[in-house]
Amino acid sequence: MNTLAAYTQHLHEMNILSSALSLIGWDQETHMPPRGIGFRSQVMGRLTKNLFELTVSPELGTLLEQLEADDSLSLEQKASVRDIGKQYRRRKAIPPALIEEQAETQSQAQAAWAEARKKSDFSIFEPLLVQMVDYARTFADYFGYEDHPYDGLLEEYEPGMTVTKLQGIIGPLREQLVPFLKQLMEEGTAPDTSPICGHFDVPTQRILARRALETVLYDFDAGALDDVAHPFSTAIAFDDVRVTNRYLEDHITSGLFGALHEGGHALYGQGMPEELYQLRLSGGASNGMHESQSRTIENQLGRSLPFWKHFQPILAEVFPQFRDVSPEALYAAVNEVTPSFIRVEADEVTYNLHIMLRAELEAELVAGELQVKDLPGRWNQAMEEYLGITPPNDALGVLQDVHWSVGYYGYFPSYMLGNLYASQLAVQTWVDIPDLDEQIASGNIKALIDWLIENVHRVGGVYQPDELMRRVTGEPLDSSHFVRYVKTKYSEIYGLS
Catalytic residues: 262
Site for a second copy in 32-91 (CB under 8 A): 32-36, 38-40, 42-43, 46-47
237 is a site residue for a second copy (CB under 8 A): yes
Task: Pick the closer one to a second copy by CB: 121 or 239.
Answer: 239
Among 4, 6, 23, 94, binds a second copy (CB under 8 A): 23
Give yes or no for residue 223 binding a second copy (CB under 8 A): yes
Of the candidate spans 10-18, 127-135, 162-170, 416-424, the one that interacts with a second copy by CB under 8 A turns out to be 10-18
**Which of the stretches 2-10, 233-241, 316-324, 446-454 binds a second copy when contact is defined by CB under 8 A?**
233-241
Using a 10 angstrom Cβ sphere, with 0-12 exposed, 13-18 middle and 19 or more buried, the burial of residue 200 is: buried
3-state SS of the chain is CCHHHHHHHHHHHHHHHHHHHHHHHHHHHHCCCHHHHHHHHHHHHHHHHHHHHHHCCHHHHHHHHHHHCCCCCCHHHHHHHHHHHHHHHHHHHCCHHHHHHHHHHHHHHHHHHHHHHHHCCHHHHHHHHHHHHHHHHHHHHHHCCCCCHHHHHHHHHCCCCCHHHHHHHHHHHHHHHHHHHHHHHHHCCCCCCHHHCCCCCHHHHHHHHHHHHHHCCCCHHHCCEEECCCCCEEEEECCEEEEEECCECCEHHHHHHHHHHHHHHHHHHHCCCHHHHHCCCCCCCCHHHHHHHHHHHHHHHCCCHHHHHHHHHHHHHHCHHHCCCCHHHHHHHCCCCCCCCCHHHCCHHHHHHHHHHHHHHHHHHHHCCCCHHHHHHHHHHHHHHHHCCCCCCCCCCCCCCCHHHHCCCCCCHHHHHHHHHHHHHHHHHHHHCCCHHHHHHCCCCHHHHHHHHHHCHHHCCCCCHHHHHHHHHCCCCCCHHHHHHHHHHHHHHCCCC
**Window 277 to 306, contacts with a second copy (CB under 8 A):** 277
Q: At closest approach, how far in Å is the CB of 311 from a second copy?
A: 24
Q: Does 210 bind a second copy (CB under 8 A)?
A: no
Tell me the site size for a second copy, rule CB under 8 A: 36
Q: Which residue of 95, 189, 220, 484 would you call a contact of a second copy, by CB under 8 A?
A: 220
CB of 320 to a second copy, least distance (A): 20
The nearer residue to a second copy, 20 or 367, going by C-beta atoms, is: 20
Residue 229 is a binding residue for a second copy (CB under 8 A): no
Judged by CB under 8 A, the residue of 4, 16, 99, 314 near a second copy is: 16
Closest distance between a second copy and the C-beta of residue 314, in Å?
22
Residues 258-277 that bind a second copy (CB under 8 A): 277
Looking at the Cβ atoms of 148 and 242, the one nearer to a second copy is 242
**Contact of 144 with 90, CB cutoff 8 Å:** no
Least distance to a second copy, CB of residue 344, Å? 26
Sign of the alpha-carbon torsion through 432, 262, 302, 168: negative
Measured from the CB atom, the residue of 43 and 427 that comes closer to a second copy is 43
Q: Tell me whether residue 45 or residue 377 sits nearer to a second copy (CB atom).
A: 45
Select the residue interacting with a second copy from 180, 238, 257, 307 (CB under 8 A). 238
Which residues, including other chains, have CB under 8 Å from residue 168's CB and lie 6 or more apart? none
> Which of residues 3, 6, 8, 27 is near a second copy by CB under 8 A?
27
Q: Which of 126, 239, 336, 467 binds a second copy (CB under 8 A)?
A: 239
- Min separation Cβ 41 and a second copy, Å: 10
Work out whether 6 is an interface residue with a second copy (CB under 8 A). Answer: no
Binding segment (CB under 8 A) for a second copy, from list 72-80, 120-128, 239-247, 422-430: 239-247
Choose the binding region for a second copy from 19-27, 105-113, 298-306, 365-373 (rule: CB under 8 A).
19-27
Closest approach of a second copy to the CB of residue 240, in Å: 3
| Shortest distance in whole angstroms from residue 272 CB to a second copy | 13
Cα separation, 315 vs 253, whole angstroms: 11
| Nearest distance, CB of residue 33 and a second copy, angstroms | 5
User: What interhelical angle do 348-367 and 163-187 show, nearest 10?
Assistant: 140
Query: Which residues of this protein are in contact with a second copy, per CB under 8 A?
Result: 12-13, 15-16, 19-20, 23-24, 27, 31-36, 38-40, 42-43, 46-47, 219-224, 226, 236-240, 242, 277
